[in-house]
Amino acid sequence: MGVLCVVYLFSLIGCAVGPNFVRPKPPEVERYTYGPQPTETIPADGRVQHFKEGAKITADWWRLFNSSNLDALIKEAIANNPNLQAAQASLRQSQENLRAGYGVFFPQLDTSFDVTRQKFSPTRFGGTLTSSIFSLYTLTATVNYALDVFGGERRAVESLRAQVDFQRYEVLGTYLALSGNIVNAIIAEAAYREQIKATEQIISLQREQTGITEMQAQAGTVPYSNALSLRSQLASTEATLPPLRQKLSQTEHLLATLVGRTPAEWGPPPVDLADLTLPADLPVTLPSELVRQRPDILAAEAELHSASADIGVATAALFPSFTLNGTYGLNNTSLKDLFKSDSSFWSMGANLTALLFHGGTLWFKRKAAIEGYNQSLATYRQTVLSAFAQVADVLRALEHDAETLHSESQALSTAEEALRLIQANYQAGIVNYLQVLIANDQYHQAKIGYLQAVAQRFQDTVALFVALGGGWWNAEEKIPDNGT
């Protein structure tokens, strides 16, 4: 018994074998981009975006676009999106698996009641008595307690706890992707509708222009080839309209699925580009903080933690295992006499199991666990690198978006001014109507380029919030992670 007490004490104070997990250090960089990191964009369409390093990212960042319809849409999606619900269910599943795993730290108590009909033959043991037939009633209770001397069970629970963390960050990642996809889809839908409207106006003008040219060709004032060229241009412009309408339909269908509806039963609320406000002050998380805030990096870290704990599980399997057990029972050939004192029996003891030779199985399982950790470490590093590259991409994109929009805005202003001058000259009788149509066409083409640049700037602004993790850690209310 003294030896058992020592073993039991060792199980309480002993350290678990295998490595203790240490969070990887963030990359030792102070900025995301090569060379000077942009602090603001150039003025474009009357707006300058400023990059505020270390500023707080609000959890409901989409409210910065100032659209009540957008806010309502995201709220509906959070309540009904199947992908988010699936992630929440996976989290709850991992939490229940963890609770089940804690059971290994408690004694296992079982009971059983058996009734058997037996025939006993004394001649089997050299006796001369005649055989007898009887019923045997047995009631037993057993207690088993595995001593976690080398910490294998503790490492297994540690791995389960890391899996809970992984699923929690998966929920946050799904939540972030969902909100980002909705805002992007709303922007795309508004841009497609504006582009379709501008394209239809271009087609209308080109048809009128083609008709005038055909009449001039019939009158012999212009070559017929001019009419053919305009017909070709009209057909090319008309060919751009169906793909735009298809993209609009796909975006509407995407929005329906994001809010958990079928396209047949739901249509998106009307949101125009003019209804959206471009955020002027954009927070930029410090690189050292990004690895502690982005859900995908935290999920990769949780998987790394789980893989580290798995090494401990595999290492503990190489050592002996210790178990304390006890049994107390009653048996009798008569059910009514089962609870008499002379019917009782008991046993108690300890068990030590040492695995001597298994063909190297346990050793190589440990080596496999180590390589699994190395794989998770490489995956984590790649996730961090990709995250930093994504932030750098978006910062540069916003810088270039402003430059593009500035040029497109100038082109639109120039085309609009040219159209006004042509219309004034037409009213004065200096130019013909065909020149008015051409100027109108150029104006609407410039407008389409302008709309595309506006939408791209909006979407890259969304991409920055998503790339920085969405600010879930600053939420005043808990981000939904369990379906409640």
Label residues 417-428 b or e (16+ Cβ within 10 Å = b). ebbeebeeebee
pLDDT over 90 percentage in the chain: 68
Ramachandran angles phi, psi of 95, nearest 5°: -65, -40
Indicate whether 213 belongs to any domain. yes
- For residue 107, pLDDT over 60 is answered with yes
List, for residues 142-188, the tens digit of each pLDDT value: 999 999 999 999 999 999 999 999 999 999 999 999 999 999 999 99
pLDDT computed for residue 12 by the predictor: 44
DSSP string, 374-389: HHHHHHHHHHHHHHHH
- For residue 477, pLDDT over 70 is answered with no
List, for residues 421-432, the tens digit of each pLDDT value: 988 887 777 878
Number of domains the chain is built from: 1
Look at 134-138, 253-257, 307-311 and tell me which has the smallest mean pLDDT.
134-138
Indicate whether 341 belongs to any domain. no
Computed from CA positions of residues 448, 449, 455, 459, in that sequence, does the dihedral angle turn out positive or negative? positive
Indicate whether 70 belongs to any domain. yes
CATH code of residue 427 = 1.20.1600.10
Indicate whether 130 belongs to any domain. no
Instruction: Tell me which residue of 296, 308, 290 sits closest to 23, measured CA to CA.
Output: 308
Confidence of residue 10 (pLDDT cuts 50, 70, 90): very low
Instruction: Give the integer Cα–Cα distance in Å for 416 and 418.
Output: 5
List, for residues 401-454, the tens digit of each pLDDT value: 999 999 999 999 999 999 889 888 877 778 787 788 888 889 989 999 999 999
Indicate whether 186 belongs to any domain. yes
Indicate whether 9 belongs to any domain. no
- Residue 88's domain comprises 16-105+150-321+368-474
Indicate whether 307 belongs to any domain. yes
Indicate whether 119 belongs to any domain. no
- For residue 317, pLDDT over 80 is answered with yes
Classify residue 420 by its DSSP letter. Answer: H
Instruction: Compute the residue count for the chain.
Output: 484
Classify residue 109 by its DSSP letter. Answer: E
- For residue 133, pLDDT over 70 is answered with yes
Instruction: Give the integer Cα–Cα distance in Å for 323 and 415.
Output: 86
- For residue 282, pLDDT over 90 is answered with yes
- For residue 481, pLDDT over 60 is answered with no
The whole-number average pLDDT for the span 100-118 is: 91
pLDDT computed for residue 483 by the predictor: 44
